[in-house]
Amino acid sequence: MSRKCPDCDGMAELLSDSNNGKCSVCHGSGIDNGFIQDALDIDRDCENCGGSGECPSCDGNGQIDDDEEN
């Protein structure tokens, strides 16, 4: 059985059974957009998702199995 991933950026739809599957740090952009990077106009891969933009806990699916541990 699966459930909503608690680590995604946010819900895709309020009544959906899954979250949006986006990385909660970069919000799906795959880019670390911290203050220093913005100030220096540097694009660096997000350390949380490795630049994929997908939630690393659910691999972008928005759902995790109940027996999986985070």
Total Cβ atoms within 10 A of residue 9: 19
Confidence of residue 58 (pLDDT cuts 50, 70, 90): very high
> Whole-number mean pLDDT of the chain?
79
Residue pLDDT, tens place only, 25-48: 888 989 887 666 566 666 788 889
Count up the domains in the chain and report the number.
Answer: 1
Domain span at 39: 1-70
Task: Note the pLDDT of residue 18.
Answer: 67
The pairing of beta strand 63-65 with beta strand 2-4? antiparallel
